[in-house]
Amino acid sequence: MAFVSIFKNRTGIEKEIDSFLDLASESGLIFDQGVDSFLNNNLERFTDHLNHIVETEKEADNLRRSIEDLLYRKTLIPESRGDVLELIERMDALLGRFKGMMFRFEIERPNIEPRFHDGLRELVNCVIHAVEAATLSLRAYFKDISQATDHIHKVAFWETEADKTSSKLQKEIFAAEDLGLDVKMQIRDLVRSTDKIADQAEDMADSLAIYVIKRSL
């Protein structure tokens, strides 16, 4: 009976971690669609995406709590438990960042000139790729550790791309003579905050790289 119960716990937590990572991946896509709707001035669609990301984040929070509870209550993976919890929490923080950015768009309603749209879309694309690679690396950490390093490299690549795009975009913003400093600073802050998501994804990937070495046989 004890073995059956252990087996059930393992299957349960595997499914929960999978679902959690699905939500992390999904939240990036919702963010992408949300920003796109905002830039296209489709505020109704934007609000739908905002509601969707709020729901996703809430669901992810519940899963995170359940994973933490299972890990500690059933003393699963005692050697890597602390590392796994940290990674899950960092991933949850990324989800929170996406939601936070969507709320900033909703609250501030910034007037972003169409000339900056492509740059912003490109930045969002880099950020989403970075988070997606981080999600894949975390998935590999659980399922096939030898693949984790490949995805970690991709996180670093997309973070660098995000930095380049962000710098270029900020230069363009401040080069625009027809905009007031207040507008420039507001858009600059949005750009920086978006870029910050890629930075956080990279921080998580750096920690993961250490944990991969720790777990390597």
Partner 1 sequence: MFLFFLSSGLFLGWSLGANDAANVFGTAVGTRMLRFRTAAALCCVFVILGSVISGAGASGTLGKLGAVNAVAGAFVVAFAAALSVYLMIRARYPASTSQAIVGAIVGWNLFSGTPTDPAALIKIVSTWVICPIMSGVIAVISYKILSFAIKRSKINMFKLDEATRIGLILVGAFGSFSLGANNIANVVGVFLPVSPFKEIILPGGFHVSPAQQLFFLGSLAISVGVITYSKRIMGTVGKGIFKLSPVMALVAVWAQSVVLFLFASQRLEQLLLNAGLPTLPLVPVSSSQAIVGAVVGMGLLKGGHNIHWKTVGGIAAGWVTTPAVACLISFVCLFFLQNVFQQTVFLP
Footprint of partner 1 on this chain (CB under 8 A)? 3, 6-7, 10, 13-14, 75-80, 141-146, 215, 217
Compute the least distance from the CB of residue 215 to partner 1, in Å.
8
The span from the CA of 137 to the CA of 152, in Å, is 6
| CB of 81 or CB of 188, closer to partner 1 | 81
CA-based nearest residue to 159, from 94, 93, 203, 98: 203
| CB of 84 or CB of 197, closer to partner 1 | 84
Q: Hey, what long-range contacts does 38-44 have (CB within 8 A, 24 or more apart)? A: 38/105, 39/112, 39/117, 39/120, 39/121
Measured from the Cβ of residue 129, the count of other Cβ atoms closer than 10 Å reads 20
Compute the least distance from the CB of residue 109 to partner 1, in Å.
44
Measured from the Cβ of residue 9, the count of other Cβ atoms closer than 10 Å reads 16
Torsion, CA 134, CA 140, CA 146, CA 151, rounded to 10? -20
| CB of 190 or CB of 205, closer to partner 1 | 205
The span from the CA of 74 to the CA of 5, in Å, is 10
Contact criterion met (CB below 8 Å) for 169 and 113 = no
Compute the least distance from the CB of residue 57 to partner 1, in Å.
25
Residue 153: which residues within 8 A CB-CB, separation 6 or more? none
| CB of 78 or CB of 114, closer to partner 1 | 78
| CB of 12 or CB of 100, closer to partner 1 | 12
Compute the least distance from the CB of residue 130 to partner 1, in Å.
24
| CB of 14 or CB of 69, closer to partner 1 | 14
Compute the least distance from the CB of residue 83 to partner 1, in Å.
11
Compute the least distance from the CB of residue 213 to partner 1, in Å.
12
The span from the CA of 33 to the CA of 9, in Å, is 36
